[in-house]
């Protein structure tokens, strides 16, 4: 049975990791150069405790992905920064969050990345979607025709990087209604998260196979 694997150059793991996943494998005081590749290949999710600059983190992610047999990689940072998060995602990481994330949230992260989703903080997600909006081609009109007018308006606003609160204020509706429209849009468009929604709305090709839907 495959287990979670935590890699850190610290002498001891952060207690919250084991609180979240008591059966996880731990490799402390190790970098990529001292990690047995067979352990990586047998892991369900690989959690990398970031150390070093952005390039070092990206290199570590890339090296792990090369031998991990498609296991999702999540980077844990003591002080999360957008630049480091972008570098990790560009190298193939599926998630980026604080090393001190609460156990309950670590479970949420694991659920999202295990089903093919991306986990990042709200600020970094917004930055990513704004970048997609700038580089995107023409909106995929046939796909959006499946949505009601309100669902389409919400989807387009979210794809530009707006938060639920901002959409609610502009449209004069409640955040709960925004979430309902967003969930309906996810279902009708066959997407799992805001990132994939942005890809569809902004006409950017996504080569990721469609996994199970993740709730909004």
Could you tell me the two tokens for 155?
């989807």
Task: Tell me the C-alpha distance between 42 and 46, whole Å.
Answer: 10
**Low-confidence winner among 5-19, 20-34, 198-212 (lowest mean pLDDT):** 198-212
More confident residue, 191 or 30: 191
Task: Tell me the C-alpha distance between 44 and 133, whole Å.
Answer: 33
Q: Could you tell me if 201 and 129 are in contact, meaning their C-beta atoms sit under 8 angstroms apart?
A: no
* 71-123 confidence digits (pLDDT tens): 899 999 999 888 898 888 888 898 999 999 999 999 999 998 887 778 888 77
Residue in 126, 213, 111, 114 with CA at minimum distance from that of residue 161 = 126
Neighbours of 213 (CB within 10 A): 15
Q: How confident is the model at residue 200 (pLDDT cuts 50, 70, 90)?
A: confident
pLDDT of residue 36 exceeding 50: yes
Residue in 76, 10, 1 with CA at minimum distance from that of residue 43 = 1
DSSP label at residue 147: S
Q: How confident is the model at residue 16 (pLDDT cuts 50, 70, 90)?
A: very high
| pTM of model > 0.75 | no
Residue in 195, 68, 74 with CA at minimum distance from that of residue 130 = 195
Reduce the DSSP state of residue 176 to 3 states and report it. helix
Q: How confident is the model at residue 31 (pLDDT cuts 50, 70, 90)?
A: low
* 145-172 confidence digits (pLDDT tens): 889 999 999 998 888 777 888 899 999 9
pLDDT of residue 195 exceeding 80: no
| pLDDT given at position 203 | 65
| pLDDT given at position 156 | 87
Residue in 89, 30, 97, 86 with CA at minimum distance from that of residue 65 = 89
| pLDDT given at position 208 | 36
Domains of the chain: 3-120 (3.40.50.2300), 125-201 (1.10.10.10)
Give percent of the chain with pLDDT exceeding 70: 83
Terminal CA-to-CA distance of the chain, rounded, Å? 30
| pLDDT given at position 127 | 76
| pLDDT given at position 47 | 96
């Amino acid at each position: 049975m495959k287990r979670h694997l935590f890699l850190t150059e610290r002498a001891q793991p952060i207690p919250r990791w084991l609180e979240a996943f008591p059966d996880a494998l731990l490799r402390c005081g190790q970098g990529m150069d001292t990690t047995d590749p067979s352990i990586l290949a047998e892991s369900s999710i690989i959690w990398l405790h970031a150390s070093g600059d952005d390039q070092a983190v990206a290199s570590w992610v890339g090296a792990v992905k090369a031998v991990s047999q498609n296991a999702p990689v999540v980077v844990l940072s003591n002080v999360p920064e957008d630049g480091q998060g972008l570098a990790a995602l560009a190298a193939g990481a599926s998630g980026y969050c604080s090393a001190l994330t609460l156990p309950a949230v670590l479970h949420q992260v694991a659920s999202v990345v295990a089903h093919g989703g991306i986990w990042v903080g709200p600020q970094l997600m917004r930055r990513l979607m704004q970048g997609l909006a700038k580089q995107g081609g023409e909106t995929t009109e046939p796909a959006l025709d499946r949505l009601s007018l309100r669902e389409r308006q919400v989807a387009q606003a979210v794809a530009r990087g707006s938060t639920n609160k901002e959409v609610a204020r502009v449209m004069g509706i409640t955040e709960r209604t925004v979430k309902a429209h967003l969930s309906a849009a996810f279902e009708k468009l066959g997407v799992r998260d805001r990132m994939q929604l942005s890809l569809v709305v902004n006409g950017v090709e996504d080569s990721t196979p469609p996994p199970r839907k993740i709730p909004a």
